[in-house]
Amino acid sequence: MVTILPFLRDQCAFDPKDVQAMAMAFEDVCKTLEVPADAASLREDIAIRIVALAKRGERSQSALRDRVLSEAAETHEGQGNLRP
């Protein structure tokens, strides 16, 4: 559940509850999208997007997960990427 921590470097401070919500959302998104552990670039895109949403105030694990999955579906259709 701590796999999002490397992507929090140099970011604003989050309390442990927020970090846990982001980590759970990250794991849920990666599992749902079947992202392999060695897909570093895609995993980074997902983590960056989750952190960006959290920095804007979204701290709910389910809302973070749902928003990123929704954006991933839109991105897949438009062949873009998840970066903010």
Please write the tens of the pLDDT for every residue from 60-70: 999 999 999 99
Helix and strand totals (H; E) in the chain = 3, 0
Q: Is residue 6 part of a domain?
A: no
- pTM as predicted: 0.79
The span from the CA of 30 to the CA of 24, in Å, is 10
Q: Is residue 55 part of a domain?
A: yes
Q: Is residue 69 part of a domain?
A: yes
pLDDT at 6: 63
Q: How many domains does the chain have?
A: 1
Helix, strand or coil, per DSSP, at residue 77: helix
Q: Is residue 24 part of a domain?
A: yes
Does the pLDDT of residue 80 top 60, yes or no? no
The span from the CA of 1 to the CA of 83, in Å, is 22
Q: Is residue 56 part of a domain?
A: yes
Question: Range of 31's domain?
Answer: 15-78
